[in-house]
A = this chain, B = another copy of it.
Amino acid sequence: MSGLNAALRHILGAGGLLDAPGDIAGYRGDLACPEGSDILGVVRPRTTAELAEIAKACMAAQVAMVARGGGTGLAGGATPVGDAPCVLISFERMHRIRSIDTVGNVMIVEAGCPLQQAQAAAAEAGRLLGLDHGGAGSSQIGGNLATNAGGNNVLRYGMAREQVLGLEAVLADGTLLSQLQPLRKNNSGYDLKQLFIGAEGTLGLITAAALRLRPAPVRRTTACVGLSTPEAALALLARAQSLLGEAISAFELLPRAGLDLHFRHVGECGEPFEPSTPWVVLIEADSASRHFDLDAAISEVLEGAIGDGLVLAGTLAASEAQRQALWRIREGIAVAMIETPGALKSDTSVPIAAIPAFIAQAAEAVARVAPGAVPVPFGHVGDGNIHFNVLPPPKGDLADFRRRAPAVARVIEDISIALGGAVSAEHGIGLLKRDALRRMRSTAELDLMRALKRSLDPSGLLNPGKILEV
Protein backbone atom coordinates (compact mmCIF):
# COMPACT_ATOMS: atom_id res chain seq x y z
CA MET A 1 0.00 0.00 0.00
CA SER A 2 2.98 2.31 0.35
CA GLY A 3 2.92 2.48 -3.45
CA LEU A 4 -0.54 4.05 -3.28
CA ASN A 5 0.58 6.52 -0.63
CA ALA A 6 3.48 7.54 -2.83
CA ALA A 7 1.10 8.06 -5.74
CA LEU A 8 -1.27 10.09 -3.56
CA ARG A 9 1.62 12.20 -2.28
CA HIS A 10 2.67 12.87 -5.84
CA ILE A 11 -0.87 13.98 -6.78
CA LEU A 12 -1.41 16.13 -3.70
CA GLY A 13 1.98 17.70 -3.06
CA ALA A 14 3.39 18.55 0.36
CA GLY A 15 0.83 18.50 3.17
CA GLY A 16 -1.91 16.99 1.06
CA LEU A 17 -1.60 13.49 2.50
CA LEU A 18 -1.66 12.84 6.23
CA ASP A 19 -0.48 9.39 7.23
CA ALA A 20 1.35 9.83 10.53
CA PRO A 21 -0.68 8.24 13.37
CA GLY A 22 -0.81 11.48 15.31
CA ASP A 23 -2.14 13.43 12.33
CA ILE A 24 -4.96 11.10 11.41
CA ALA A 25 -6.33 10.37 14.87
CA GLY A 26 -9.23 12.82 14.66
CA TYR A 27 -10.46 11.66 11.27
CA ARG A 28 -11.65 8.14 12.00
CA GLY A 29 -15.31 8.72 12.76
CA ASP A 30 -18.20 11.03 13.54
CA LEU A 31 -20.13 12.03 16.67
CA ALA A 32 -21.94 8.70 16.79
CA CYS A 33 -19.11 6.31 15.87
CA PRO A 34 -15.81 8.10 16.57
CA GLU A 35 -13.42 5.18 16.22
CA GLY A 36 -13.46 3.44 12.88
CA SER A 37 -11.18 0.86 11.34
CA ASP A 38 -7.61 1.46 10.16
CA ILE A 39 -6.96 3.94 7.39
CA LEU A 40 -3.97 4.27 5.09
CA GLY A 41 -4.11 8.02 5.31
CA VAL A 42 -6.17 11.16 4.95
CA VAL A 43 -6.11 12.81 1.53
CA ARG A 44 -6.91 16.50 1.43
CA PRO A 45 -7.41 17.58 -2.18
CA ARG A 46 -7.45 21.27 -3.06
CA THR A 47 -9.32 20.89 -6.35
CA THR A 48 -11.81 18.65 -8.07
CA ALA A 49 -9.11 17.66 -10.55
CA GLU A 50 -6.89 16.45 -7.71
CA LEU A 51 -9.75 14.42 -6.30
CA ALA A 52 -10.36 12.82 -9.69
CA GLU A 53 -6.69 11.74 -9.77
CA ILE A 54 -6.98 10.37 -6.24
CA ALA A 55 -10.00 8.29 -7.23
CA LYS A 56 -8.15 6.91 -10.25
CA ALA A 57 -5.18 5.94 -8.07
CA CYS A 58 -7.45 4.28 -5.50
CA MET A 59 -9.35 2.47 -8.22
CA ALA A 60 -6.09 1.19 -9.70
CA ALA A 61 -5.01 -0.05 -6.26
CA GLN A 62 -8.56 -1.27 -5.44
CA VAL A 63 -8.50 0.66 -2.18
CA ALA A 64 -11.74 2.03 -0.76
CA MET A 65 -12.48 5.77 -0.34
CA VAL A 66 -14.46 7.15 2.60
CA ALA A 67 -15.57 10.77 2.19
CA ARG A 68 -15.69 12.94 5.28
CA GLY A 69 -17.16 16.38 5.91
CA GLY A 70 -17.14 18.13 9.27
CA GLY A 71 -17.47 14.90 11.26
CA THR A 72 -20.77 15.94 12.87
CA GLY A 73 -22.74 12.99 11.53
CA LEU A 74 -24.98 11.05 13.89
CA ALA A 75 -25.14 7.68 12.11
CA GLY A 76 -21.53 6.62 11.49
CA GLY A 77 -21.75 7.48 7.81
CA ALA A 78 -18.14 8.72 7.63
CA THR A 79 -16.66 6.08 9.93
CA PRO A 80 -14.46 3.56 8.08
CA VAL A 81 -15.32 -0.11 8.63
CA GLY A 82 -14.10 -3.46 7.43
CA ASP A 83 -10.83 -5.37 7.30
CA ALA A 84 -9.18 -3.69 4.33
CA PRO A 85 -7.63 -0.33 5.17
CA CYS A 86 -9.07 2.54 3.17
CA VAL A 87 -8.25 6.11 2.25
CA LEU A 88 -10.15 8.84 4.01
CA ILE A 89 -11.01 11.89 1.90
CA SER A 90 -11.25 15.16 3.76
CA PHE A 91 -12.64 18.19 1.91
CA GLU A 92 -11.27 20.72 4.36
CA ARG A 93 -9.05 22.36 1.73
CA MET A 94 -11.88 22.62 -0.83
CA HIS A 95 -13.84 25.31 0.96
CA ARG A 96 -14.22 28.13 -1.53
CA ILE A 97 -17.39 29.96 -2.37
CA ARG A 98 -16.89 30.04 -6.11
CA SER A 99 -19.60 32.57 -6.94
CA ILE A 100 -22.74 34.31 -5.72
CA ASP A 101 -25.28 35.48 -8.30
CA THR A 102 -27.87 37.82 -6.76
CA VAL A 103 -29.83 38.13 -10.01
CA GLY A 104 -30.29 34.40 -10.45
CA ASN A 105 -30.25 33.83 -6.69
CA VAL A 106 -27.71 31.03 -6.68
CA MET A 107 -24.33 30.42 -5.05
CA ILE A 108 -21.72 27.88 -6.08
CA VAL A 109 -19.94 26.43 -3.07
CA GLU A 110 -17.26 23.77 -2.69
CA ALA A 111 -17.93 20.67 -0.63
CA GLY A 112 -15.62 21.58 2.24
CA CYS A 113 -17.19 24.95 2.99
CA PRO A 114 -18.79 24.91 6.45
CA LEU A 115 -22.55 25.46 6.28
CA GLN A 116 -22.31 28.49 8.55
CA GLN A 117 -19.80 30.17 6.23
CA ALA A 118 -22.09 29.61 3.26
CA GLN A 119 -25.01 31.03 5.26
CA ALA A 120 -22.93 34.09 6.20
CA ALA A 121 -21.83 34.70 2.61
CA ALA A 122 -25.45 34.51 1.46
CA ALA A 123 -26.54 36.91 4.19
CA GLU A 124 -23.80 39.36 3.27
CA ALA A 125 -25.21 39.38 -0.27
CA GLY A 126 -28.70 40.09 1.09
CA ARG A 127 -29.90 36.55 0.51
CA LEU A 128 -30.89 33.51 2.56
CA LEU A 129 -29.58 29.96 2.22
CA GLY A 130 -32.60 27.94 3.36
CA LEU A 131 -30.73 25.28 5.34
CA ASP A 132 -29.90 25.41 9.04
CA HIS A 133 -29.43 23.00 11.91
CA GLY A 134 -27.52 22.53 15.14
CA GLY A 135 -24.34 21.42 13.36
CA ALA A 136 -24.08 24.43 11.04
CA GLY A 137 -20.81 25.66 12.55
CA SER A 138 -18.74 22.56 11.78
CA SER A 139 -20.66 20.55 9.22
CA GLN A 140 -19.68 21.10 5.60
CA ILE A 141 -21.81 21.62 2.50
CA GLY A 142 -20.65 18.30 1.04
CA GLY A 143 -21.66 16.40 4.16
CA ASN A 144 -24.96 18.27 4.32
CA LEU A 145 -25.78 17.17 0.78
CA ALA A 146 -24.40 13.64 1.12
CA THR A 147 -26.68 13.11 4.12
CA ASN A 148 -29.55 15.27 2.79
CA ALA A 149 -29.48 17.20 6.05
CA GLY A 150 -32.70 18.53 7.55
CA GLY A 151 -32.98 20.76 10.59
CA ASN A 152 -35.42 23.26 11.95
CA ASN A 153 -36.58 25.03 8.78
CA VAL A 154 -37.62 22.07 6.66
CA LEU A 155 -41.32 22.89 6.87
CA ARG A 156 -40.54 26.20 5.16
CA TYR A 157 -37.62 25.48 2.82
CA GLY A 158 -37.36 21.70 2.50
CA MET A 159 -34.38 19.41 3.07
CA ALA A 160 -30.85 19.99 1.77
CA ARG A 161 -31.89 18.29 -1.49
CA GLU A 162 -34.34 21.05 -2.24
CA GLN A 163 -31.64 23.72 -2.07
CA VAL A 164 -29.61 22.09 -4.86
CA LEU A 165 -29.85 23.42 -8.42
CA GLY A 166 -26.63 21.86 -9.69
CA LEU A 167 -23.92 19.49 -8.53
CA GLU A 168 -20.34 18.56 -9.32
CA ALA A 169 -19.15 15.08 -8.34
CA VAL A 170 -16.36 12.59 -8.94
CA LEU A 171 -17.40 9.02 -9.70
CA ALA A 172 -15.73 5.88 -8.34
CA ASP A 173 -13.40 5.61 -11.33
CA GLY A 174 -12.37 9.27 -11.22
CA THR A 175 -14.79 10.44 -13.91
CA LEU A 176 -15.80 14.07 -13.37
CA LEU A 177 -19.53 14.73 -13.48
CA SER A 178 -20.02 18.46 -13.85
CA GLN A 179 -23.59 19.69 -13.49
CA LEU A 180 -23.26 23.10 -11.90
CA GLN A 181 -25.72 24.87 -14.20
CA PRO A 182 -27.62 27.31 -11.97
CA LEU A 183 -30.95 26.70 -13.71
CA ARG A 184 -34.37 26.66 -12.11
CA LYS A 185 -35.74 24.52 -14.93
CA ASN A 186 -33.66 21.89 -16.67
CA ASN A 187 -35.38 18.75 -17.92
CA SER A 188 -32.44 17.59 -19.98
CA GLY A 189 -32.36 13.87 -19.34
CA TYR A 190 -32.30 12.00 -16.05
CA ASP A 191 -31.67 14.26 -13.05
CA LEU A 192 -28.35 12.66 -12.11
CA LYS A 193 -27.58 14.97 -9.19
CA GLN A 194 -30.38 13.36 -7.20
CA LEU A 195 -28.36 10.12 -7.07
CA PHE A 196 -25.61 11.65 -4.96
CA ILE A 197 -27.74 13.69 -2.55
CA GLY A 198 -28.47 11.56 0.50
CA ALA A 199 -26.31 8.66 -0.72
CA GLU A 200 -23.66 9.25 2.00
CA GLY A 201 -20.73 9.06 -0.42
CA THR A 202 -21.57 5.52 -1.55
CA LEU A 203 -22.38 6.41 -5.18
CA GLY A 204 -20.00 9.30 -5.85
CA LEU A 205 -18.02 12.09 -4.21
CA ILE A 206 -19.72 15.51 -4.12
CA THR A 207 -17.18 18.27 -4.77
CA ALA A 208 -19.33 21.40 -5.26
CA ALA A 209 -22.94 22.49 -5.54
CA ALA A 210 -25.03 25.29 -7.02
CA LEU A 211 -27.39 26.22 -4.19
CA ARG A 212 -30.65 28.12 -4.41
CA LEU A 213 -30.78 31.46 -2.60
CA ARG A 214 -33.87 33.34 -1.47
CA PRO A 215 -34.57 36.96 -0.58
CA ALA A 216 -33.33 37.57 2.96
CA PRO A 217 -35.97 37.93 5.68
CA VAL A 218 -36.62 41.50 6.78
CA ARG A 219 -39.29 40.65 9.33
CA ARG A 220 -39.32 37.90 11.91
CA THR A 221 -41.46 36.91 14.87
CA THR A 222 -40.70 34.30 17.51
CA ALA A 223 -43.08 32.96 20.14
CA CYS A 224 -42.72 30.39 22.88
CA VAL A 225 -45.95 28.96 24.31
CA GLY A 226 -47.04 26.39 26.85
CA LEU A 227 -49.48 23.57 26.08
CA SER A 228 -50.90 20.58 27.87
CA THR A 229 -50.65 17.91 25.14
CA PRO A 230 -49.12 17.10 21.75
CA GLU A 231 -52.67 17.18 20.36
CA ALA A 232 -52.81 20.84 21.33
CA ALA A 233 -49.56 21.41 19.44
CA LEU A 234 -51.12 20.02 16.26
CA ALA A 235 -54.21 22.18 16.71
CA LEU A 236 -51.99 25.22 17.19
CA LEU A 237 -49.99 24.34 14.07
CA ALA A 238 -53.17 24.27 12.00
CA ARG A 239 -54.24 27.69 13.31
CA ALA A 240 -50.78 29.13 12.75
CA GLN A 241 -50.76 27.85 9.18
CA SER A 242 -54.12 29.42 8.48
CA LEU A 243 -52.96 32.85 9.70
CA LEU A 244 -49.23 32.85 8.95
CA GLY A 245 -49.37 30.62 5.89
CA GLU A 246 -46.03 30.02 4.22
CA ALA A 247 -44.16 32.25 6.68
CA ILE A 248 -43.79 29.64 9.43
CA SER A 249 -40.13 28.67 9.41
CA ALA A 250 -39.98 26.61 12.61
CA PHE A 251 -42.50 24.85 14.85
CA GLU A 252 -40.63 22.93 17.54
CA LEU A 253 -42.04 20.82 20.36
CA LEU A 254 -40.20 20.65 23.69
CA PRO A 255 -41.32 18.26 26.45
CA ARG A 256 -41.14 19.05 30.16
CA ALA A 257 -38.58 16.26 30.71
CA GLY A 258 -36.30 17.83 28.11
CA LEU A 259 -36.62 21.30 29.62
CA ASP A 260 -35.92 19.97 33.10
CA LEU A 261 -32.86 18.07 31.87
CA HIS A 262 -31.58 21.16 30.11
CA PHE A 263 -32.11 23.56 33.01
CA ARG A 264 -30.43 21.10 35.44
CA HIS A 265 -27.60 20.31 33.05
CA VAL A 266 -26.58 23.65 31.59
CA GLY A 267 -27.89 25.96 34.26
CA GLU A 268 -27.76 28.98 31.96
CA CYS A 269 -31.44 29.18 31.02
CA GLY A 270 -34.61 29.12 33.03
CA GLU A 271 -38.32 28.76 32.34
CA PRO A 272 -39.40 30.96 29.44
CA PHE A 273 -42.66 31.84 31.20
CA GLU A 274 -44.77 31.02 34.25
CA PRO A 275 -46.58 28.81 35.04
CA SER A 276 -44.54 25.99 33.58
CA THR A 277 -46.46 23.61 31.33
CA PRO A 278 -46.12 19.95 30.28
CA TRP A 279 -45.19 20.91 26.71
CA VAL A 280 -43.67 23.99 25.12
CA VAL A 281 -43.80 25.00 21.46
CA LEU A 282 -41.32 27.36 19.82
CA ILE A 283 -42.80 29.05 16.72
CA GLU A 284 -40.87 31.25 14.35
CA ALA A 285 -42.07 32.98 11.21
CA ASP A 286 -40.25 35.28 8.84
CA SER A 287 -40.81 37.15 5.63
CA ALA A 288 -38.71 38.87 3.01
CA SER A 289 -41.43 41.53 2.70
CA ARG A 290 -41.93 44.35 5.16
CA HIS A 291 -45.58 44.39 4.06
CA PHE A 292 -46.23 41.08 5.85
CA ASP A 293 -47.37 42.02 9.36
CA LEU A 294 -46.11 38.96 11.18
CA ASP A 295 -46.64 40.45 14.62
CA ALA A 296 -50.33 41.01 13.90
CA ALA A 297 -50.63 37.47 12.56
CA ILE A 298 -48.92 35.76 15.49
CA SER A 299 -50.89 37.88 17.95
CA GLU A 300 -54.13 36.79 16.33
CA VAL A 301 -53.00 33.15 16.51
CA LEU A 302 -52.08 33.39 20.18
CA GLU A 303 -55.04 35.47 21.33
CA GLY A 304 -57.43 32.98 19.77
CA ALA A 305 -55.57 30.00 21.19
CA ILE A 306 -55.36 31.48 24.69
CA GLY A 307 -59.04 32.36 24.56
CA ASP A 308 -59.91 28.79 23.67
CA GLY A 309 -57.65 27.30 26.33
CA LEU A 310 -55.38 25.70 23.74
CA VAL A 311 -52.39 27.77 24.84
CA LEU A 312 -51.85 28.02 28.61
CA ALA A 313 -49.12 30.64 28.74
CA GLY A 314 -46.47 32.13 26.50
CA THR A 315 -44.11 34.89 25.53
CA LEU A 316 -43.18 36.77 22.36
CA ALA A 317 -39.55 37.70 21.70
CA ALA A 318 -39.33 41.50 21.82
CA SER A 319 -35.71 41.66 20.66
CA GLU A 320 -33.09 39.62 18.85
CA ALA A 321 -31.50 38.86 22.24
CA GLN A 322 -34.80 37.49 23.54
CA ARG A 323 -35.21 35.47 20.36
CA GLN A 324 -31.80 33.92 20.76
CA ALA A 325 -32.55 33.12 24.39
CA LEU A 326 -35.68 31.23 23.31
CA TRP A 327 -33.69 29.28 20.72
CA ARG A 328 -31.05 28.44 23.36
CA ILE A 329 -33.77 26.72 25.36
CA ARG A 330 -34.44 24.45 22.39
CA GLU A 331 -30.83 23.87 21.38
CA GLY A 332 -29.83 23.25 24.98
CA ILE A 333 -32.02 20.17 25.09
CA ALA A 334 -30.08 18.69 22.18
CA VAL A 335 -26.76 19.54 23.82
CA ALA A 336 -27.84 18.14 27.18
CA MET A 337 -28.96 14.92 25.49
CA ILE A 338 -25.58 14.48 23.80
CA GLU A 339 -23.77 15.13 27.07
CA THR A 340 -25.89 12.85 29.26
CA PRO A 341 -24.23 9.43 29.63
CA GLY A 342 -26.36 6.66 28.22
CA ALA A 343 -28.99 8.93 26.68
CA LEU A 344 -30.59 7.22 23.70
CA LYS A 345 -31.17 9.30 20.57
CA SER A 346 -33.62 8.57 17.83
CA ASP A 347 -34.49 10.17 14.50
CA THR A 348 -37.98 9.00 13.74
CA SER A 349 -40.57 10.76 11.60
CA VAL A 350 -44.24 9.99 11.20
CA PRO A 351 -47.14 11.52 9.29
CA ILE A 352 -47.89 14.75 11.13
CA ALA A 353 -51.39 13.65 12.16
CA ALA A 354 -49.87 10.57 13.82
CA ILE A 355 -47.54 12.51 16.13
CA PRO A 356 -49.73 12.29 19.28
CA ALA A 357 -50.30 8.56 18.79
CA PHE A 358 -46.59 8.02 18.17
CA ILE A 359 -45.58 9.86 21.34
CA ALA A 360 -48.15 8.02 23.46
CA GLN A 361 -47.43 4.56 22.08
CA ALA A 362 -43.67 4.97 22.23
CA ALA A 363 -43.78 6.24 25.83
CA GLU A 364 -45.84 3.23 26.84
CA ALA A 365 -43.47 0.83 25.07
CA VAL A 366 -40.39 2.42 26.65
CA ALA A 367 -41.96 2.08 30.10
CA ARG A 368 -42.44 -1.61 29.39
CA VAL A 369 -38.94 -2.31 28.05
CA ALA A 370 -36.97 -0.04 30.41
CA PRO A 371 -39.07 0.82 33.48
CA GLY A 372 -38.17 4.20 34.94
CA ALA A 373 -36.47 5.48 31.80
CA VAL A 374 -37.50 9.03 30.85
CA PRO A 375 -38.88 9.70 27.35
CA VAL A 376 -37.82 13.02 25.81
CA PRO A 377 -39.76 13.20 22.54
CA PHE A 378 -38.88 16.51 20.98
CA GLY A 379 -38.24 18.33 17.76
CA HIS A 380 -39.84 19.27 14.52
CA VAL A 381 -43.63 18.94 14.74
CA GLY A 382 -43.99 21.00 11.58
CA ASP A 383 -42.36 18.28 9.48
CA GLY A 384 -43.26 15.16 11.53
CA ASN A 385 -39.70 14.55 12.72
CA ILE A 386 -39.97 13.86 16.45
CA HIS A 387 -36.68 12.76 17.95
CA PHE A 388 -37.99 10.26 20.49
CA ASN A 389 -34.96 10.32 22.78
CA VAL A 390 -34.81 8.47 26.10
CA LEU A 391 -32.87 9.23 29.30
CA PRO A 392 -31.71 6.47 31.66
CA PRO A 393 -33.77 6.08 34.87
CA PRO A 394 -32.67 8.95 37.16
CA LYS A 395 -31.73 6.67 40.01
CA GLY A 396 -31.40 3.46 38.08
CA ASP A 397 -28.54 1.27 36.99
CA LEU A 398 -26.89 2.88 33.95
CA ALA A 399 -25.27 -0.37 32.82
CA ASP A 400 -28.65 -2.08 32.92
CA PHE A 401 -30.21 0.72 30.82
CA ARG A 402 -27.39 0.45 28.30
CA ARG A 403 -28.09 -3.27 27.96
CA ARG A 404 -31.75 -2.50 27.32
CA ALA A 405 -31.04 0.41 24.95
CA PRO A 406 -31.08 -1.64 21.70
CA ALA A 407 -34.47 -3.06 22.64
CA VAL A 408 -35.72 0.44 23.53
CA ALA A 409 -34.51 1.81 20.18
CA ARG A 410 -36.16 -1.11 18.45
CA VAL A 411 -39.63 -0.61 19.94
CA ILE A 412 -39.54 3.10 19.13
CA GLU A 413 -38.56 2.35 15.54
CA ASP A 414 -41.18 -0.35 15.19
CA ILE A 415 -43.94 1.98 16.37
CA SER A 416 -42.80 4.65 13.94
CA ILE A 417 -42.78 2.16 11.07
CA ALA A 418 -46.20 0.80 12.05
CA LEU A 419 -47.58 4.36 11.89
CA GLY A 420 -46.22 4.82 8.36
CA GLY A 421 -43.10 6.63 9.49
CA ALA A 422 -39.35 6.42 9.01
CA VAL A 423 -36.51 5.59 11.40
CA SER A 424 -34.03 7.89 9.74
CA ALA A 425 -35.71 11.20 9.10
CA GLU A 426 -32.71 13.47 8.78
CA HIS A 427 -29.57 11.77 10.16
CA GLY A 428 -29.17 9.15 7.44
CA ILE A 429 -28.47 5.41 7.63
CA GLY A 430 -24.68 5.18 7.93
CA LEU A 431 -23.76 2.21 10.08
CA LEU A 432 -26.24 2.62 12.90
CA LYS A 433 -29.48 2.32 10.94
CA ARG A 434 -28.58 -0.41 8.45
CA ASP A 435 -30.61 -3.02 10.30
CA ALA A 436 -33.55 -0.66 10.64
CA LEU A 437 -33.40 0.09 6.92
CA ARG A 438 -33.95 -3.58 6.17
CA ARG A 439 -37.03 -3.61 8.37
CA MET A 440 -38.44 -0.46 6.82
CA ARG A 441 -37.85 -0.96 3.13
CA SER A 442 -39.34 -3.69 0.97
CA THR A 443 -37.30 -6.29 -0.88
CA ALA A 444 -38.08 -4.42 -4.10
CA GLU A 445 -36.70 -1.18 -2.67
CA LEU A 446 -33.56 -2.79 -1.26
CA ASP A 447 -32.94 -4.67 -4.51
CA LEU A 448 -33.18 -1.45 -6.48
CA MET A 449 -30.80 0.30 -4.09
CA ARG A 450 -28.31 -2.54 -4.55
CA ALA A 451 -28.70 -2.34 -8.32
CA LEU A 452 -27.86 1.38 -8.20
CA LYS A 453 -24.82 0.68 -6.05
CA ARG A 454 -23.58 -2.00 -8.46
CA SER A 455 -24.21 0.26 -11.42
CA LEU A 456 -22.34 3.30 -10.06
CA ASP A 457 -19.69 1.58 -7.96
CA PRO A 458 -19.18 -1.93 -9.33
CA SER A 459 -15.94 -2.46 -7.35
CA GLY A 460 -17.58 -1.36 -4.09
CA LEU A 461 -14.86 1.19 -3.34
CA LEU A 462 -17.05 4.12 -2.27
CA ASN A 463 -17.70 4.17 1.49
CA PRO A 464 -18.19 0.39 1.70
CA GLY A 465 -20.59 -0.97 4.30
CA LYS A 466 -22.70 2.18 4.57
CA ILE A 467 -26.47 2.23 3.96
CA LEU A 468 -26.28 -1.25 2.43
CA GLU A 469 -24.10 -3.99 3.87
CA VAL A 470 -23.24 -5.31 0.42
Contact = CB atoms under 8 A, between A and B. Distances in A.
Interface stretch (A63-71, A312-320, A358-366, A435-443): A435-443
Given A177-B444, A183-B420, A246-B246, 19 more contacts: A103-B234, A105-B352, A154-B185, A176-B444, A177-B448, A178-B444, A179-B445, A183-B425, A185-B426, A187-B422, A188-B433, A189-B445, A189-B446, A189-B449, A190-B198, A190-B449, A192-B448, A244-B289, A455-B455
A10 interface: no
B444 A187 contact: no
B420 A246 contact: no
A454 interface: yes
Interface stretch (A1-9, A110-118, A257-265, A290-298): A290-298
A422 B188 contact: yes
B442 A185 contact: no
B288 A246 contact: yes
B199 A190 contact: yes
A186 B245 contact: no
Interface string A192-205: 10110111000100
Contact of A161 (B191, B300, B456): B191
A410 B178 CA distance: 23
A427 interface: yes
Given A245-B215, A289-B245, A441 B188 contact: yes
Contacts of A288: 241-242, 245-246
A444 B175 CA distance: 7
Copy tally for this chain in the complex stands at: 2
A135 interface: no
11 contacts: A101-B351, A102-B238, A147-B187, A177-B444, A189-B445, A189-B467, A189-B468, A246-B288, A247-B292, A451-B455, A454-B455
Interface string A292-333: 111011001000000000000000000000000000000000
Interface in A149-189: 150, 154-155, 158-159, 161-162, 171, 175-179, 181-189
B188 A423 contact: yes
Nearest to A425: B185
Contacts of A287: 245-246, 292
A383 B185 contact: yes
A148 interface: yes
